[in-house]
Amino acid sequence: MTTLGLSADELLSTTRSVRKRIDFDRPVSDDLIRECLEFAVQAPSGSNRQGWRFLVVTDNDKKAALGDLYRRGWDAYSKLGTSAGALAETLDGDHAAQMTRVRESASYLAENMHRVPAMLIPCLPGRVNKAPETGVSSMLASIVPSTWSFMLAARERGLGTCWTTIHLMFEEEASTVLGIPFEKVTQIALITVGHTIGTDFRPAARPPASTVTDWNTWTA
């Protein structure tokens, strides 16, 4: 597969959540997903356990079932005070406009979730909610970098991804759909995967890192 030839800095600053610019009608080859996963397993993990598991979903019936769960979750999430839509109303200026765009884009994805060419479900052994307090960070940090590496590798190959978690409101039902033993395995996310329409993506408008960084002593 040809790659876009992005520099590392371009890759790191332009890997966005792609929802509206996914080509739903163009399948993603299994080999391309396998190629991206080879980068995922290069990521760090606590004690080098490499306990990650990835479930790739391309079956239309399973995607439809997950899409239904996702939409149920989306309906519930949209009513929460912490949703992107609700947050947009508490903000002003550029951030409010950005949040409104996120809500519209996320709503579009929810409507079309069953049409995404592939879904990637990163999983970990054990139930994260049963881990001792310090264990939760280690568990999550042992799958998040690998999944992000997958997403970066996908971007370099003309694929768009979006990290989603809303189906986890019904994780047990999703586990049944996918044959995952719910008591023994935690689903971490549902990453949507598809070829992008165009490959030009821009860095997001964000406050500079200096506004969220302290040196040596925490400031209130």
Ligand X SMILES: Cc1cc2nc3c(=O)[nH]c(=O)nc-3n(C[C@H](O)[C@H](O)[C@H](O)COP(=O)(O)O)c2cc1C
Give the residues lining the site for ligand X (CB under 6 A).
16-17, 102, 106, 109, 162-166, 204
The candidate with the shortest Cα–Cα distance to 150, out of 1, 15, 9, 13, is 15
Which DSSP string do the residues of 165-206 spell out, in sequence order?
Answer: -GGGGGHHHHHHHHT--TTTEEE--EEEEEEBSSS-------
Q: What is the DSSP letter of 216?
A: S
Select 81 or 181, whichever has its Cβ closest to ligand X: 81
Q: How far is the CB of 137 from ligand X (least distance, A)?
A: 14
Least distance in angstroms from the C-beta of 215 to ligand X: 26
H/E element, 160: strand 159-164
User: Could you give the residue ranges of the DSSP H alpha helices within the chain?
Assistant: 8-14, 30-40, 60-78, 84-90, 93-112, 133-141, 144-156, 171-178
- CB contact at 8 A, 197 and 21: yes
Choice between 13 and 138, CB closer to ligand X: 13
Minimum Å distance from CB 85 to ligand X?
Answer: 12
CB closer to ligand X, 69 vs 109: 109
Minimum CB–partner distance for residue 220 and ligand X (Å): 26
Q: Looking at beta carbons only, is 22 or 109 nearer to ligand X? A: 109
CB of 139 to ligand X, least distance (A): 14
Distance, in Å, from the CA atom of 185 to the CA atom of 120, rounded to the nearest integer, reads 15
Nearer to ligand X, 138 or 165 (CB): 165
Q: Which is nearer to ligand X, 109 or 154 (CB)?
A: 109
Rg (CA), the chain: 18
Using an 8 Å Cβ cutoff, are 78 and 72 in contact? Answer: no
* Contact (Cβ atoms closer than 8 angstroms) between residue 56 and residue 33: yes
Minimum CB separation from ligand X for residue 176, in Å?
20
For residue 31, the minimal CB distance to ligand X (Å) is 26
HSE value, Cβ hemisphere, 13 Å, CA-based, for 202: 3
